[in-house]
């Protein structure tokens, strides 16, 4: 184990915030008071919250220690399928921290916010060109928020046609947010089975598609890492009955500069800036989920829209009577938009190379591991590939055990048990920012683990032992929830 | 390109290993009809230097402190974040970590968010808080939908003194549903007019905001009593300025069933409106109907205390179309930022800072009053209030803009009957001198 | 997970296709889920049940049973009125795992048509069904 990426080391225990501190300590420099205390209606006053009093040293040690318990992209590789855990460029952080951006109030008069408006306008333009779509809204605050926006657009479109529809077709490989977003709009989800090649079968879609179906939600490439090769035929079938095609763009990292989404038949698409466009995951957010549409659906985009006037000034425009409305209190996650914009300005046409290399890395891993792990779909993959634990089940080892052991080798586990159509799924997406040497080390680790599954299965079932904690009792956590201290 | 580490040599080796000759061969399963043949039509890549220059140029055009004096609140507040908090939040282990689905290697995020949840329950006086939602507006929309699920009633009432942009988001969320949003007007005192609430029999919830959009502190006791005359209707208290609860009695202290709002004030930069932080808390009886992620305490197999995502069956990745919401990500890094801020401020500090905000705003309010301008609403306020400028206020406003002073938010575009009314905000970042200048300029 | 031969499948209950069992107790039917179902679900963390007085039809969803990572719906094996609900499951959902046919019972139903019970499978038919789905 001496050569592995992961190793042991001294880290620190650290209690909860309210288990530290002492009354009267502070970590805050209070500004000098230059006004007198004013009278206050005591019936309104409370006692203030029971927060611990901590010194700056307390706070700094606390969070530094906590940070050391985390795996992060900055520490190592996260081959999480459908998450696109690519490197988060630091120049993006520098740009997002510029005081002109961080200090800007969202409701500034437009003439005092031209820089931000210009950035948003240009970003819209770039995303439209990258996807081949016609118009973009940057307002949704996350992928799922973008999906909801897309569903609202479908709903508005059909309402405007005078024929509200009640159903949405959703492939069985879809991410859970897809049917959840559809439900929020009052649509009933109809599951569509993928065929034995792992892609949508036009005949199956044709059978399900009718005039009460608003459309289909596809992910392309899909969550098995395969390009939906029948997408145009599927789109024609859906369009033929007056439906629309919504694409979940979570896997866009495979096809930038390669696929024109509009040409493939897509009407509405959302992107995940925190996946394809390098903005950081932050331990669970914030992200951003812009929505791209065809010219025909542009009137439904959320407002306000960012527009460029003939006078060369950027402005917000609310004059769109068919808009689905407002998704976010202000303009979306501007701080995240800055990072994505910086990334696109830094990469330019190299984005195509990024997609090519992401796909190369995934295919390479697929070839290297296919003898060792069971590969349910032995076909060229896109930016991710899916294996299962079938070979290891013979030794009573599961996907979960493999994942827990992989941590000790210094890799974050891949996505496990998703998509649901594959039993014991292990979905691997290396991204293009992992160099060949690191990809080779990952392959070695996976092979070593497969060998251990045969000869020393305890190493897997007892894993992990090195990280801060071992496997957790999630059952008690759910039976007797303790959600605050 | 520094984010693409593959050398030509490595690419050749890897292509050979997969049995392809060129990178383009990897896309052979894609039909030609979907392919784009042209190069991506994007500007040439910028070097780091060029990017710095370009971005600095864009940022320089924005009206921000200290050059500009911006007296705007309205859901986005100027508070100072200590240098230590900024530094801590920039650590790559927080910024570039993924969602903590593998808890053994994510205890940093998990404990930080568990602490955030706890601090939120203490701030708002509630039983349980989630790991956050996108912003105050979507948090309110989700709270109303939650009330509909819990009560199985189809109507919700929302005060007109709730932030107008929040109400628009609520309407967007409710539009495709069979549920109805009813608005409750505000009264002359700037507070929600309780007499206009109407029958509660079919109401899933009544939502007010406190301090409300006009900065007025609602009489939450009275609202609570009124709403709870019906055993089922939920009392929802929204907010855009949580710092107020360093001073005022909490929503939970008034019997709120759900408390939700915007947490940006607590350590998150305004950043032209996002990312924000949707704080969301409720009574424990409703926990299984709550949207969003929840982190709970548990033990590992050696008996160590640890934290884990729990009650996940409410969420989309398991429950899919029957999930309590479609939300996947929370605002993880923003929640961490606000926890670091609340930890730095401490219990004593937050009381002091809230008091200072209140006193500064009272100073400005009094100064306006003494200069002969009308304070629009008589109710007590926290750090925002509405002033009625003399007629022809648009010119005054413009004149001040030219001096780089943004004299509040003109309300007429949100409330057509409030022409010449301006919503002004002062926090601890406004000096007495700035406030005196403002009053002088407006009154002249 | 258990082998089929290890499953507890009492003779004195009838079984539905989606793994609920029903047993006659005077003029009500007691309903729960089979040993196969609880074994498949793993550790049960929460059971959501209807209220006494609710009227449901055969095939309607009457509740859900949750493990950490999955939720399963529960379907009425017969039509009728819910007369009682097992309150012990609120604090001890694990009873469904440890005693699926006794202390882990879920609801009592006053059937609209008592003969609907006969339409359910007996033990041998259920066992055959389980063996068949194993292939």
Q: Spell out the domain ranges in chain B.
A: 69-81+347-443, 83-341
**pLDDT value of residue B33:** 87
Q: What angle do CA C85, C86, C88 make, to 5 degrees?
A: 145
Task: Read off the pLDDT band of B37 (50, 70, 90).
Answer: low
What's the burial of A311, exposed, middle or buried (CB within 10 Å: 0-12/13-18/19+)? exposed
Whether residue A165 is found in the same domain as residue A203: yes
pLDDT by residue (tens digit) across B386-442?
999 988 899 999 999 999 999 999 999 999 999 999 999 999 999 999 999 999 999
Q: Which of residues 317-346 of A touch B (CB under 8 A)?
A: 324-336, 338, 342, 344-346
User: Looking at the predicted structure, is the pLDDT value of residue B368 above 70?
Assistant: yes
Whether residue A158 is found in the same domain as residue A195: yes
Parallel/antiparallel/unpaired status of strands B69-70 and B405-406 = parallel
Instruction: Supply the CATH number for residue A132's domain.
Output: 3.40.640.10
Mean pLDDT of B86-104: 97
A85 is a domain residue = no
Q: How many domains does chain A have?
A: 2
Strand partners, B292: none
pLDDT truncated to tens, each residue of chain A (485 aa)? 457 889 888 899 999 999 999 999 999 999 999 999 999 999 999 999 999 999 999 999 999 999 999 999 999 999 999 999 999 999 999 999 999 999 999 999 999 999 999 999 999 999 999 999 999 999 999 999 999 999 999 999 999 999 999 999 999 988 888 888 898 888 999 999 999 999 999 999 999 999 999 999 999 999 999 999 999 999 999 999 999 999 999 999 999 999 999 999 999 999 999 999 999 999 999 999 999 999 999 999 999 999 999 999 999 999 999 999 999 999 999 999 999 999 999 999 999 999 999 999 999 999 999 999 999 999 999 999 999 999 999 999 999 999 999 999 999 999 999 988 899 999 999 999 999 999 999 999 999 999 999 999 999 999 999 999 999 999 999 999 999 99
Q: Residue A325's domain spans which residues?
A: 104-347
Query: Looking at beta carbons, which residues of chain A come within 8 Å of C93?
Result: 479
A231 is a domain residue = yes
Cis peptide before A286 (omega within 30 of 0): yes
Q: What proportion of chain B, given as a percentage, has pLDDT over 70?
A: 100
**Interface check A350 vs B, CB under 8 A:** yes
Please give the Cα distance from B243 to B252 (Å, whole number). Answer: 15
Please count the other Cβ atoms lying within 10 Å of the Cβ belonging to residue B427: 22
**Interface check A377 vs B, CB under 8 A:** no
Mean pLDDT of B242-266: 98
| CATH tag, C11-134 | 2.40.50.100
User: Looking at the predicted structure, is the pLDDT value of residue B147 above 60?
Assistant: yes
Chain A, nearest residue to C42 by Cα: A475
Q: Which of residues 456-485 of A touch C (CB under 8 A)?
A: 474-475, 478-479
Structure tokens given for C114: 């008592």
Query: Looking at beta carbons, which residues of chain B come within 8 Å of C68?
Result: 312-313
What length does chain C have?
135
Exposed e or buried b per residue across A422-450, where buried means at least 16 C-beta atoms within 10 angstroms of its C-beta: bebbbbbbbbbbbbbebbebbbebbebbb
Nearest to A343 by CA among A88, A83, A76: A88
SS (H, E, C) chain A: CCCCCCCCCCCCCCCCHHHCCCCCCCCCCCCCCCCCCCCCCCCCECCCCCCCCCCHHHHHHHHHHHHCCECCCCCCCCCECCCCCCCCCHHHHHHHCCHHHHCCCCCCCHHHCHHHHHHHHHHHHHHHHHHCCCEEECCCCCHHHHHHHHHHHHHHHHHHCCCCCCEEEEECCCCCHHHHHHHHCCCEEEEECECCCCCECHHHHHHHCCCCEEEEEEECCCCCCCCCCCHHHHHHHHHHCCCEEEEEHHHHHHCCCCECCCCCCCCEEECCCCCCCCCCCCCCCCCCCCEEECHHHHHHCCCCEEEECCCCCEEEECCCCCCCCCCCCCCCCHHHHHHHHHHHHHHCCHHHHHHHHHHHHHHHHHHHHCCCCECCCCCCCCCCEEEECHHHHCCCCCHHHHHHHHHHCCCCCCEECCCCCCCCCEEECCCCCCCHHHHHHHHHHHHHHHHHHHHCCHHHHCCCCCCCCCCECHHHHHHCCCCCC
**Interface check A315 vs B, CB under 8 A:** no
The three-class DSSP label of residue B8 is: helix
Q: Spell out the domain ranges in chain C.
A: 11-134
**pLDDT value of residue A326:** 97
Query: Looking at beta carbons, which residues of chain B come within 8 Å of A458?
Result: none
Mean pLDDT of B298-304: 97
Whether residue A236 is found in the same domain as residue A327: yes
**pLDDT value of residue A325:** 97
B69-81+347-443 and B83-341 have identical folds: no
Please give the Cα distance from B399 to B396 (Å, whole number). Answer: 5
Mean pLDDT of B245-259: 98
Cα distance from A177 to chain B (closest Cα, Å)? 5
Is B26 in contact with A359 (CB distance < 8 Å)? yes
What's the burial of A28, exposed, middle or buried (CB within 10 Å: 0-12/13-18/19+)? buried
Whether residue A372 is found in the same domain as residue A323: no
Please give the Cα distance from A410 to A404 (Å, whole number). Answer: 11
Count A/B contacts: CB-CB distance under 8 Å.
696
Whether residue A361 is found in the same domain as residue A329: no
User: Looking at the predicted structure, is the pLDDT value of residue B328 above 80?
Assistant: no
Strand partners, A213: A167
**pLDDT value of residue A1:** 44
A42 is a domain residue = no
**Interface check A239 vs B, CB under 8 A:** no
Is B382 in contact with B215 (CB distance < 8 Å)? yes
**pLDDT value of residue A225:** 93
| CATH tag, B69-81+347-443 | 3.90.1150.10
Please count the other Cβ atoms lying within 10 Å of the Cβ belonging to residue A39: 8
**pLDDT value of residue A421:** 87
pLDDT by residue (tens digit) across B4-33?
999 999 999 999 999 999 999 999 999 988
Q: Which CATH class is domain B83-341?
A: alpha beta
- Phi-psi region for residue A296, left (φ > 0), alpha (ψ -120 to 50) or beta? alpha
**pLDDT value of residue B435:** 97
What is the dihedral sign for C-alpha A477, A478, A480, A485? Answer: positive
* Best residue of C42, C46, C68, C93 to probe chain B, by most B CBs closer than 10 Å: C68
Whether residue A363 is found in the same domain as residue A432: yes
Flag if C46 and B312 touch (Cβ within 8 Å). Answer: no
Whether residue A290 is found in the same domain as residue A434: no
C64: enclosing H helix or E strand: strand C61-67
Whether residue A214 is found in the same domain as residue A291: yes
Q: Which of residues 69-128 of B touch A (CB under 8 A)?
A: 70, 72, 74-76, 78, 80, 82, 84-85, 87-88, 90-100, 102-109, 111-115, 117-119, 121-123, 125, 127-128
**pLDDT value of residue B314:** 81
Query: Looking at beta carbons, which residues of chain C come within 8 Å of A417?
Result: 69
Whether residue A251 is found in the same domain as residue A156: yes
B230: enclosing H helix or E strand: none
**pLDDT value of residue A333:** 98
């Amino acid at each position: 184990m001496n050569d592995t990426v992961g190793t042991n080391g001294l880290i620190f225990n650290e209690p909860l915030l309210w288990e530290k501190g002492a009354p009267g300590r502070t970590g805050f420099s209070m500004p000098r008071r230059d006004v007198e205390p004013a009278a206050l209606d005591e019936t309104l006053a409370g006692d203030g919250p029971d927060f611990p009093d901590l010194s700056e040293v307390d706070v700094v040690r606390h969070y530094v220690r906590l940070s050391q318990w985390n795996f992060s992209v900055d520490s190592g590789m996260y081959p999480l399928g459908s998450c696109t855990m690519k490197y988060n460029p630091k120049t993006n952080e520098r740009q997002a921290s510029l005081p002109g951006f961080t200090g800007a109030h969202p409701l500034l008069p437009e003439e005092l916010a031209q820089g931000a408006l210009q950035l948003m306008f240009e970003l819209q333009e770039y995303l439209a060109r990258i996807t081949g779509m016609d118009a973009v809204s940057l307002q949704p605050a996350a992928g799922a928020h973008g999906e909801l926006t897309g569903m609202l657009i479908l709903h508005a479109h059909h309402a405007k046609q005078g024929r509200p529809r009640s159903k949405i077709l959703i492939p069985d490989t879809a991410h859970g947010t897809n049917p959840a977003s559809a439900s929020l709009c009052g649509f009933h989800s109809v599951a569509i089975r993928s065929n034995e090649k792992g892609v949508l079968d036009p005949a199956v879609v044709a059978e399900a598609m009718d005039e009460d179906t608003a459309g289909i939600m596809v992910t392309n490439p899909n969550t098995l890492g395969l390009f939906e090769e029948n997408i145009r035929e599927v789109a024609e079938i859906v369009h033929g009955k007056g439906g629309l095609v919504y694409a979940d763009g979570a896997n866009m990292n495979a096809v930038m500069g390669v696929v024109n989404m509009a040409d493939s038949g897509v009407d509405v698409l959302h992107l995940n800036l925190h996946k394809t466009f390098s903005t950081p995951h932050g331990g669970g957010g914030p992200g951003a989920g812009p929505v791209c549409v065809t010219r025909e659906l542009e009137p439904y985009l959320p407002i306000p829209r960012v527009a460029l006037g003939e006078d060369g000034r950027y402005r917000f425009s609310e004059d769109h009577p068919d808009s689905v409305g407002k998704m976010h209190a202000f303009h979306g996650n501007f701080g995240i938009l800055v990072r994505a914009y910086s990334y696109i300005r830094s990469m330019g046409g190299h984005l195509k190379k990024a997609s090519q290399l992401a796909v190369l890395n995934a295919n390479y891993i697929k070839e290297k591991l296919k003898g060792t792990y069971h590969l349910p779909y032995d076909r060229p993959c896109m930016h991710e590939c899916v294996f299962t634990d079938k070979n290891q089940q013979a030794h009573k080892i599961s996907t979960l055990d493999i994942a827990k052991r992989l941590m000790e080798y210094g890799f974050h586990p891949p996505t496990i048990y998703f998509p649901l159509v594959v039993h014991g799924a292990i979905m691997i997406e290396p991204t293009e920012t992992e160099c060949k040497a690191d990809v080779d080390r990952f392959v070695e680790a996976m092979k070593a683990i497969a060998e251990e599954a045969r000869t020393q299965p305890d190493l897997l079932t007892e894993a992990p032992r090195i990280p801060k904690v071992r496997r957790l009792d999630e059952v008690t956590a759910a039976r007797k929830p303790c959600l605050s201290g | 390109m520094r984010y693409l580490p593959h050398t030509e040599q490595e690419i050749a080796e890897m292509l050979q290993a997969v049995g392809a000759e060129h990178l383009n061969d990897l896309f052979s399963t894609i039909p030609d009809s979907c392919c784009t043949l042209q190069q991506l039509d994007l500007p040439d890549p910028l070097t780091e230097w060029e990017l710095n220059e370009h971005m600095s140029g864009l940022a320089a055009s924005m009206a921000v402190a200290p050059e500009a004096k911006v007296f705007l609140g309205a859901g986005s507040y100027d508070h100072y974040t200590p240098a230590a908090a900024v530094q801590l939040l920039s650590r790559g282990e927080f910024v570039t970590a993924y969602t903590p689905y593998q808890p053994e290697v994510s205890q940093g995020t998990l404990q930080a968010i568990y602490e955030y949840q706890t601090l939120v329950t203490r701030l708002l006086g509630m039983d349980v808080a989630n790991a956050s939602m996108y912003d105050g507006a979507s948090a309110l929309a989700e709270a109303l939908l939650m009330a509909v699920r819990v009560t199985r009633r189809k109507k919700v009432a929302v005060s007109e003194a709730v932030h107008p942009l929040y109400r628009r988001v609520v309407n967007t969320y409710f539009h495709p549903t069979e549920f109805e949003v009813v608005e409750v007007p505000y009264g002359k005192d700037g507070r929600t007019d309780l007499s206009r609430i109407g029958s509660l029999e079919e109401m899933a919830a009544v939502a007010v905001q406190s301090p409300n959009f006009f900065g007025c502190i609602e009489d939450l006791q009275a609202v609570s009593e009124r709403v709870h005359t019906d055993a089922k209707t939920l009392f929802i208290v929204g907010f855009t300025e949580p710092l107020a609860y360093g001073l005022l009695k909490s929503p939970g202290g008034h019997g709120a069933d759900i408390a939700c709002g915007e947490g940006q004030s607590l350590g998150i930069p305004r950043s032209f409106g996002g990312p924000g932080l949707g704080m969301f808390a409720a009574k424990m009886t409703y926990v299984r109907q709550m949207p969003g992620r929840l982190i709970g305490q548990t033990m590992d197999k050696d008996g160590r205390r640890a934290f884990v995502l729990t009650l996940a069956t409410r969420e989309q990745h398991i429950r899919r179309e029957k999930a309590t919401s479609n939300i996947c990500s929370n605002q993880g890094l923003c929640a961490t930022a606000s926890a670091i801020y609340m930890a730095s401020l401490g219990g004593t500090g937050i009381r002091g800072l809230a008091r200072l905000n209140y006193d500064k705003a009272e100073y400005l309010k009094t100064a306006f009053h003494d200069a002969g301008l009308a304070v629009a609403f008589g109710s007590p306020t926290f750090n925002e209030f509405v002033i009625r400028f003399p007629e022809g206020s648009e010119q005054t406003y413009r004149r001040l803009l030219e001096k780089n002073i943004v004299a509040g938010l003109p309300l007429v575009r949100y409330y057509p009957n409030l022409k010449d009314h301006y919503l002004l905000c002062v926090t601890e970042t406004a000096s007495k001198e700035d406030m005196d200048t403002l009053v002088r300029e407006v009154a002249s | 997970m258990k082998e089929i031969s290890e499953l507890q499948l009492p003779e004195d209950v009838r079984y539905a296709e989606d793994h609920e069992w029903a047993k006659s107790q005077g003029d009500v039917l007691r309903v729960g889920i089979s040993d196969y179902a609880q074994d498949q679900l793993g550790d049960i963390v929460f059971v959501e049940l209807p209220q006494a007085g609710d009227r449901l039809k055969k095939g309607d969803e009457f509740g859900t049973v949750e493990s950490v990572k999955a939720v399963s719906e529960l379907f009425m094996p017969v039509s009728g009125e819910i007369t009682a609900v097992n309150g012990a499951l609120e604090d001890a959902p694990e009873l469904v795992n440890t005693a699926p046919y006794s202390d882990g019972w879920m609801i009592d139903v006053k059937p609209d048509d008592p003969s609907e019970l006969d339409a359910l499978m007996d033990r041998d038919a259920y066992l055959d069904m389980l063996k068949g789905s194993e292939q």
